């Protein structure tokens, strides 16, 4: 036997369909009010904008800006340091291998 769900579970869905038009009209009215407010605002004076832009420039960290020379120089230094570490590591491994080979050749000569 298949049971039907109680009517109370369908109630929230049916009210959404009934009240949607009212909510939509309120939303449209609110958007119109916001648009009117924005249109009536006067833009700030140019000198005030320049002052704010100067403050923002001081706040910006050029070390994190991929277009800045400071960032590019820092990245290049990091790459060079990584290459130097790799070269030193390779040289150390090569030296250890050479010493091991010399010990192996020396021990075979003695035998």
CB 65 within 8 A of CB 71: yes
C-alpha 96/C-alpha 109 separation (Å) is 20
pLDDT value at residue 82: 94
The string of pLDDT tens digits covering residues 48-102 is: 999 998 888 777 778 878 888 888 999 999 999 999 999 999 999 999 999 999 8
Where are the alpha helices (H) located in the chain, listed in sequence order?
A: 11-40, 46-59, 69-110
pLDDT value at residue 4: 60
CB 60 within 8 A of CB 53: no
The answer on pLDDT for 111 being more than 60 is no
Q: Which two tokens stand for residue 7?
A: 């009517």
The string of pLDDT tens digits covering residues 47-60 is: 999 999 888 877 77
Lowest-pLDDT range of 13-22, 25-34, 37-46: 13-22
The string of pLDDT tens digits covering residues 21-31 is: 778 888 889 99
Triad 101, 106, 111: Cα angle to 5°? 130
If pLDDT is split at 50, 70 and 90, which confidence band does 8 have?
Answer: low
pLDDT value at residue 67: 84
C-alpha 85/C-alpha 92 separation (Å) is 10
């Amino acid at each position: 036997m298949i049971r039907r769900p109680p009517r109370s579970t369908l109630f929230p869905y049916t009210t959404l369909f009934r009240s949607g038009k009212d909510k939509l009209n309120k939303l449209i009215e609110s958007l119109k009010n916001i648009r009117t407010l924005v249109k009536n605002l006067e833009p700030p004076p140019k000198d005030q904008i320049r002052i704010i832009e100067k403050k923002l420039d001081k706040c910006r960290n050029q070390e994190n800006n991929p277009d800045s020379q400071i960032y590019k120089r820092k990245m290049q230094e990091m790459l060079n340091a990584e290459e130097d570490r790799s070269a030193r590591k390779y040289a150390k491994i090569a030296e250890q291998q050479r010493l091991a080979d010399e010990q192996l050749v020396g021990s075979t000569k003695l035998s």
